Amino acid sequence: MLSAWNIDASQFNGDWSFADKAQFWLRYAALAPSAHNNQPWRCAIGEDYLDIYIDLRYTPRTGTLRQTLISIGAFIENFIQAAAAFGYEFVVTDIPMSVKREDRVARLQLVGSTDEPVAKHRLEAIMSRHTNRGLYKATQLAPSIITALDDLELEQRVIAISLQDSQSKERVAALVDKGVYIALSLPPLRRELSDFVFYQREGSCYGLQVESMVQDPPQAESGKQWTLKLMNAKAEAQFSRKKFASAPVLTVLCTETDSPAIWVSTGQSMQRIFLAAASYGLCHCVSAAPIEIPVLTPVLKSILETKLRPQVLYRIGEPVNSEFTIPSPRRKVDDLL
């Protein structure tokens, strides 16, 4: 659960079997962000490769495959970066053109290794990256950080469009407001969300902690009850608007096409940016609603002045309240295999 965030890199032993090494890297992979923190990944370790599948036990019925595969892309990025930190190089192969929910999503193939010393800073970024759903300081990020994030090499065919001017941010924030309001007002969506919300005291190994969604939350019998009975759609939506309008930078990752492979690439690119941002002490917060609610996506495209397909929208910044950066629970590696 929360102990998943404490990984001691010095426990790694280069003499281990491939399977033992892969299980160690999977501990880092498991710290990837996912929609609803549902951790929709399942793995099978081969002779010198790792196969990744969707774990249907943790995939919401109404959630889109896009959200699931972006999350799996982030998981892949963490695995590749963790293995690289120990000197092992993997490449992604075999992403099918059309993934059904039961299919293998990707294979990560080991292609080489070196004796370089362990790159600890890369592992630290994986362990220090967290979502923070509070307000971010409105002051602009340092130009050197903006440049470093802009210069990151993303996966092929993924393009980042960032907005820093108040007018565009305000327009995107208004869409977030609408999207959150719609998502929380539709009973099936609210019920589905409620299956993934828990108070910390409930000790779930997946899902969203009420404490990471609202500061000083009112007490209810369970996270499910809080979501169904106490969460106020209008207030949440309006506060989300304020948080997106005041963040120093909003970014949308876009692509020309829309396919399972491109969703995985988007997730990898997103996670690469989040890890780089984390290494500067910055947090991030995704909002899926303007991407997934069909009437809102064309408006987002017109704000971005692009014909590309928006895939993921997030804000990045320095939290006003760093105590609200709360690590979220994770399933154990045994449960992923």
Query: How far is residue 17 CA from its own chain's centroid?
Result: 30
**In the window 312-331, what residues touch ligand FMN (CB under 6 A)?**
328
CA angle 271-275-277, nearest 5°? 115
Nearer to ligand FMN, 64 or 113 (CB): 64
Residue 293 binds to ligand FMN (criterion: CB under 6 A): no
Residue 268 binds to ligand FMN (criterion: CB under 6 A): no
- DSSP states of 34-74 as a string? -GGG---EEEEE-SSEEEEEE-GGGS-SSS-HHHHHHHHHH
State the Cα–Cα distance between residues 245 and 241, nearest whole angstrom: 6
State the Cα–Cα distance between residues 36 and 117, nearest whole angstrom: 36
Given 85, 286, 300, 304, the residue binding ligand FMN (CB under 6 A): 286
Q: Pattern 131-150, binding to ligand FMN, x per CB under 6 A?
A: x-x-----------------
Name the segment binding ligand FMN (CB under 6 A); options: 28-36, 52-60, 229-237, 255-263. Answer: 28-36
- Read off the tokens for 209: 């902690």
Given 33, 290, 317, 319, the residue binding ligand FMN (CB under 6 A): 33
Name the segment binding ligand FMN (CB under 6 A); options: 40-48, 78-86, 142-150, 282-290. Answer: 282-290
| Contact assessment for residue 251 and residue 273, using Cβ atoms and an 8 Å cutoff | yes
Nearer to ligand FMN, 23 or 240 (CB): 240
Q: Cβ neighbours of residue 302 under 8 Å, at least 6 residues apart?
A: none
Residue 65 binds to ligand FMN (criterion: CB under 6 A): no
- Taking each helix axis from N to C end, the angle separating 65-85 and 18-29, rounded to the nearest 10 degrees, works out to 120
Least distance (Å) between residue 269 CB and ligand FMN: 12
Interface residues with ligand FMN (CB under 6 A) are 33-37, 67, 70-71, 74, 130-131, 133, 208, 285-289, 328
